[in-house]
Amino acid sequence: MTPDPNTDDDEVVTWWGLVIEGYLATQDKLMGEIADRFGLAPASFDILMRLVRSPEHRMPMTRLATEAALSSGGFTKVADRLVAADLICRVPSPDDRRVTFASLTDHGLDVADRARAACAEILRRIVLTPLGEDAPALAEAMRTLRSVNS
C-alpha cells in the first residue's frame, strides 16, 4: 500500500507521536514487571538478554557497551553492579590482552533464562494479545524503519 502523499502534516506528526507513546508506555510496563520480578534495571536486563543469546554467553565488553548504546563509563557502572550481583564476570581474552569479555556466571545464566521467559510471557500479554494478527506486521514495519534509518 502506497501512503497518500497528501496526508495532512498534523496527521503524520500525530501518527509518529502515537508510535512513540505506545512504545514508551509498553516499555515502561514491561520493564516495571521485570524490575518487580527480578530486581533488574532496564540496562542490566538488556545486557543479560544480549549475553544469554550470544555464543558461550559472552561478548567483548566494548562491543556489548556499543550494542547496549551505553557510554564507556555508563557501561562500567552497570557491569560493576552485575559483577557484584554475581550475574556476570569479566574474563580476559586469551588471544588479545586488550580485550575483556563479559560472561554470564551460572547464577547469571539462570536469572537471564528466567527473565527471558518472563519477558516473553509479559510481551504475549501486553503486545501480542492486544495486537492479535497485526503483531507480525508491526515487527516487520519496525525492522524496515531500523534498516532504512541505520
How many whole angstroms separate alpha carbon 118 and alpha carbon 42? 14
pLDDT tens-digit profile of 44-76? 999 999 999 999 999 999 999 999 999 888 999
Given this model, what pLDDT does residue 72 score?
85
Looking up cell 497528501 gives 6
The pTM for the full model equals 0.87
Given this model, what pLDDT does residue 4 score?
80
DSSP H stretches of helix in 3-123: 9-38, 42-52, 61-67, 72-84, 106-123
Per-residue pLDDT at 1 exceeds 70: no
**Dihedrals φ, ψ of 103, to 5°?**
-130, 140
Given this model, what pLDDT does residue 3 score?
72
Per-residue pLDDT at 5 exceeds 70: yes
- Paired sense of beta strands 88-92 and 100-104, if any: antiparallel
Q: pLDDT band at residue 121, thresholds of 50, 70 and 90?
A: very high
Q: For the chain, give the percent of residues with pLDDT over 70.
A: 99
